[in-house]
Amino acid sequence: MVLGIGIDIIEIARVESALEKRGSLQERLFTPQEIAYCTARGRPGESLAARFAAKEAVRKACSAAMPGIVIPWLDIEIVMVDSRPTVNLLGNTAPSARKCGIQELLVTMSHSREYACASVLVLGEKLESC
């Protein structure tokens, strides 16, 4: 059953500029695995922007299944598994999501020269406990 859907779009230059201006921002938004993957890419800001859009989309999609809970940035990790993006929920968010009936998060990301976007679909079983 679909429990939520989220979408986000962001200007890549805006992400690149923010990361350049605020040195610690990258570590506050992205996990070490995400940073390692993105910095190995041709234009790291492009990949980081796509992941930021995906994290925003996860937060929006999960808000329907987990009302009142704001997921911390570092509790959402976007990793590549078999050449496709996958969402890992970490920290306290993982057990909270399971408690709310979330079983799977599907994510897709895309970018052009100027924009990065992502969509997320939350699948699971609606539980009355959330």
Question: In residues, how long is the chain?
Answer: 130
Nearest C-alpha neighbor of 109 from the set 120, 98, 101? 120
pLDDT tens digits for range 50-85: 999 999 999 999 998 999 999 999 999 999 999 999
Strand ranges, E, within the chain: 2-11, 76-81, 84-89, 102-111, 115-124
| Sequence ranges of the domains in the chain | 2-124
Provide CATH code, domain 2-124: 3.90.470.20
Q: How confident is the model at residue 23 (pLDDT cuts 50, 70, 90)?
A: confident
Mean pLDDT on 15-30: 94
